[in-house]
Amino acid sequence: MRSIWNGAISFGLVSIPIKLVNATENHAISFRQIHPADGGRIRYRKVCELEEKEVTAAEIGKAYEAADGSLIPITDEDLGALPLPTAKTIEIVAFVPASSIDPLQMDAAYYLSANGIPAAKPYTLLREALKRSEKVAIAKFALRGRERLGMLRVVDNVIAMHGLLWPDEIRSPQDVAPDTEVTVREAELDLADALMNTLGEVDLDSLHDDYREAVEAMIAAKVEGGGVLPEAAPAEHAPGKVIDLMAALESSVRAAKEARGEEGGEVAEVTPIKGRKRAAAAPKSGGADAKKSTATAAKKTAAKKTASGATKSTATKSTATKSTAAKSTATKSTAKKATATKSTAAKSAAKKTTAKKATAKKRASA
């Protein structure tokens, strides 16, 4: 890889000659500007306004435009004579935990390569010291006409440097957050947690630029003779469209589970977040929110009910069997009692009939 800057790392009194190499590359597809009417190429030419002629890059210098519009020439010699130790040196000023660096400050990334055999020993010393301390180095350096901040860390066996924006270059996030009061329900947070857990982690190497591939396929189709291009897939939700958040979260959980080869038909098990208290009961009002909350609670407990369904079903069957046996016993007992009653009544009637006959005989003989 071609170096873009040569200098040294200043580590106390230790100087480490290094080369600065770009750690990243841009794979974006570049386009040229044309005149659509005739396909002619549109070019930007560097022209001197006084001579009205095109000049080469070697003939172009720098200048600062003053408030009155006048130009003050600035040469490379002027910049090189500035009393800055960082002009050719990456000056380490502190070692801090990596967590103390705001990701918003992160800028371009570079690899630092030891420049020559004598630089190998101090380069390795700094690399191993960074590894053992589990810290990153904060440094100042000058590149492309300005002084910058940098963060040095170890990547594999190489020292990498991330350019950092100065703190005053980070804009305040005020007026960016929603300007209306929004209340997020516990059920919505629980479903969001379930979706996060379902999506899980990802191997970044497995991700790729779908847009660039689509552009390449479109260009290839045009090169081969203007083939029919695939239609764009319609967006699931138009920008600004109001959707049912709970339904969208539940559908997202199902889709994520299906993508991972899991069962997608059931609503995901929702685990309450620690430290948050769930409402004891659903709202008493009969409005739409109460109905949705009730429906959501029913869906959230569906999985738990399914898990305990077998046990409850067995208990229910056993209870039903006992109840049936009890009813059968009661029926038999009632039948016996009825039979006994009938038998007693019959005996009593027979006795009365016998007594009547005896009375009639006595009367006849008299």
DSSP of 258-298, one letter per residue? HHTTS--SSPPPPPPPTT-PPPSS--SS-SHHHHHHHHHHH
The reported pLDDT for the residue numbered 161 is: 96
Q: Cβ distance 7 to 110 under 8 Å?
A: no
The reported pLDDT for the residue numbered 105 is: 93
Residue with tokens 């059920």: 187
Q: CA-CA distances (angstroms) from residue 200 to 67, 196, 253, 271?
A: 56, 6, 11, 15
What amino acid occupies position 179?
D
Would you write out the chain's pLDDT as a tens digit for each of its 366 residues? 788 889 999 988 889 999 999 999 989 899 999 999 999 999 999 999 999 999 999 999 999 999 999 999 999 888 777 777 777 899 999 999 999 999 999 999 999 999 999 999 999 999 999 999 999 999 999 887 788 999 999 999 999 999 999 999 999 998 888 888 888 889 888 888 888 888 778 788 888 888 888 888 888 888 888 656 666 666 555 555 556 777 877 787 788 777 777 654 454 454 554 544 444 444 444 444 444 444 444 444 444 444 444 444 444 444 444 444 444 444 454 445 444 444 554 455 555 555 555 555 555 554
The reported pLDDT for the residue numbered 155 is: 95
